[in-house]
Amino acid sequence: IDVDGDGRNEIIQSSIAWDTTWGDPRLAIWREDGTALPGWPQLLSFAYDPPFCAVGDIDGDGDYEIVGTCNYDGIVCAWHAESGDDVDGWPKALGGWYGSIVGYPVLADLDGDGDSEIIIGLDYQSADTFALHALQGDGTPLWQRRYICEAAISAADFDGDGDIEIAFCGYGPGVSNLYTYLFDHQGQLIARWRGGSGKGTAIADLDGDGQCELIFCTEDGVQAVGIDGSTIWKTRIGDGFDTAGGLSVTDVDDDGRSEVFVNSYAQADGYSFTRVHALDYQGQPITEAEFPKIVIGDPGHSAPLIADIDGDGQKEILVGTAGAALMAWELDGSIVTGFPMLTLPTEIDCTITIADLDQDGDVEILVGGYDYRFHVVDMPGQADPDTADWSAARHDPQNSAWAAMIPTLDLSEAPQEIRPGQRLSLELRASNPEDRPLRFIVGSLPEGASFDESTRIVSWKPTAAQAFRTYRFSFLVTDGIHQTSRSVAITVIPDAIYAADMDTDPNWQL
């Protein structure tokens, strides 16, 4: 993701530095050439484990912040991406004394002000206090609920009304059975369904009718349900299905209907391994492609990733499990050429990612390796937002697990230079592939500049006193969850033919 808005992608990597006996968690941001951004990495000497991260604008400045949860410690951190400085109000401890955070932080605009709130779930150790939190960007609570989380949370605008819904597997107050819950943006219960698992939830329009469905795993299978509380289908897989793993939902064959893929931990004959299941949009197992597939290794928090990685124009299924080689299949079940990557096993609890890191038009696979090194594997697959449908464990940098395409900013009309007295009139434009309500956020502006939200036009007429300076404009577009932030630098150049500083230029004679 481009965390500093310069048009180039960076890598956000959690790890542990073994410079001390117990190790120190740290968070790094790397450029494509392996150099670190200023202010990074950050050492988290107060924490036991490295953070699970989400990226978004939580303070309304148009720039990205990074939110990280040190799950074992129950600590939430937030940093300004461009500097590594702590955001005001962070870090913050949540839950009971022994409470731990579950899964990933999720970022979503719950109160409609344009910036993201932070959704955090805690485990059963926080049963006697609030375990489900929606936090503002300064760490103050928007709301809190006494619901325990069992797995990663999802968020989406199910019905296209501009309000966000939240889904998770867990336990309600005084309830001993596991349920999957759907809340509105104010933290009020909409519906619940019996069953759930540690694999979390995912949200997608399965049948292409324009309505999103919620998909989750239970102790013996997979379910798809609707926002009205209905159950659309149930598919039994087998007992003991509520194990580690993850799920992804995407239209692999581009027929307008989505497929469901699930990584699930399994044991047999003294061995542990991962089964990769595939279901069609009606919940029917895709048996003709010989799913489920079997991969050695523990799936951990990983989900099957979906993208065109071999350049054939078709989407593939990529799976990385702990200590085992990367594996990829075509939808027909055949193995992708070059796989398994026997020399590249993934580290425990390190999820793989697919992205065009160097923006050369093809994709790279980003891997935290079992050899204690970070790997970037160049692949021939084309970097196309229409084909990279599920390229990270929870789909997007906000960890929504919502299979919707992300709006992107178009700043091609922004000038690099402007003269004093010349008027800037920059209309903000963005793609809107899902035809959803969009909101534009503009960061701090130079003196004399303004932004009209109704017309989405930034206006500015710089003065002579602003000459010789370069001003950074930060912009962000969001559909309520997914965000794209970009910045442009505009230099005010003088009208004079020659200009110099009297204090430093030797040509000036006083």
Residues 62, 357: Cα–Cα separation, whole Å: 22
For tokens 């609030």, what's the residue?
130
Residue type, 265: Y
Query: Is-contact 206 222, C-beta < 8 A?
Result: no
Instruction: Tell me the domain boundaries of the chain.
Output: 1-149, 411-492
Beta bridge partners of 443: none
Query: Is-contact 298 272, C-beta < 8 A?
Result: yes
Q: Residue 315: its pLDDT value, please?
A: 93
What tokens does 485 get? 């932030």
Return the closest-CA partner of residue 191 out of 161, 152, 223: 223
Residues 470, 485: Cα–Cα separation, whole Å: 19
What are the Cα distances from residue 473, in Å, to 19, 349, 463? 40, 38, 17
DSSP class of residue 449? -
pTM value is: 0.93
Residue type, 430: A
Residues 404, 205: Cα–Cα separation, whole Å: 9
The percent of the chain in helix, strand and coil, each rounded to the nearest 5, is 0, 40, 55
Q: Residue 503: its pLDDT value, please?
A: 67
Q: Do domains 1-149 and 411-492 have the same CATH topology?
A: no
Superfamily of domain 411-492: Immunoglobulins (2.60.40.10)
Q: Residue 244: its pLDDT value, please?
A: 87
The whole-angstrom distance between residue 285's C-alpha and the CA centroid of its chain comes to 28
What tokens does 226 get? 């609707």
What tokens does 30 get? 């790397």
179-183: long-range contacts (C-beta < 8 A, 24 or more apart)?
A: 180/214, 180/216, 180/223, 180/225, 181/147, 182/214, 182/227, 183/145
Q: Residue 21: its pLDDT value, please?
A: 78
Query: Is-contact 405 64, C-beta < 8 A?
Result: no
Return the closest-CA partner of residue 248 out of 205, 201, 316: 201
The pLDDT tens digits along the chain (510 residues) read 898 888 889 999 999 888 777 888 999 999 999 999 999 999 998 888 999 999 999 999 999 999 999 999 999 999 999 999 999 999 999 987 778 999 999 999 999 999 999 999 999 988 888 999 999 999 999 999 999 999 999 999 998 889 999 999 999 998 999 999 999 999 999 999 999 999 999 999 999 999 999 999 999 999 999 999 999 999 999 878 888 899 999 999 999 999 999 999 998 888 889 999 999 999 999 999 999 999 998 998 899 999 999 999 899 999 999 888 999 999 999 999 999 998 888 887 778 999 999 888 899 999 998 888 899 999 998 888 766 689 999 999 999 999 999 999 999 999 999 999 999 999 999 999 999 999 999 998 999 999 999 999 999 999 999 999 999 999 999 999 999 999 999 999 987 655 566 666 666 655
DSSP class of residue 227? T
- The stretches of 95-207 forming alpha helices (DSSP H) are none
Q: Residue 498: its pLDDT value, please?
A: 56
What tokens does 510 get? 């006083």
Cis omega (within 30 of 0) for bond into 91? yes
Sheet strand arrangement including 52-56: 52-56, 65-70, 75-80, 92-93
String of DSSP letters for 370-391: TTS-EEEEEEEEE--TTT-SB-
What tokens does 173 get? 């107050």
- Sorted by sequence, the CB contacts under 8 Å of residue 315 that are 6+ apart come out as 250, 252, 253, 254, 306, 307, 308, 331, 387, 389
Q: Residue 502: its pLDDT value, please?
A: 63
Indicate the length of the chain as a whole number. 510
Tell whether domain 1-149 is in CATH 2.40.128.630.
yes
Q: Residue 116: its pLDDT value, please?
A: 98
Query: Is-contact 443 458, C-beta < 8 A?
Result: no
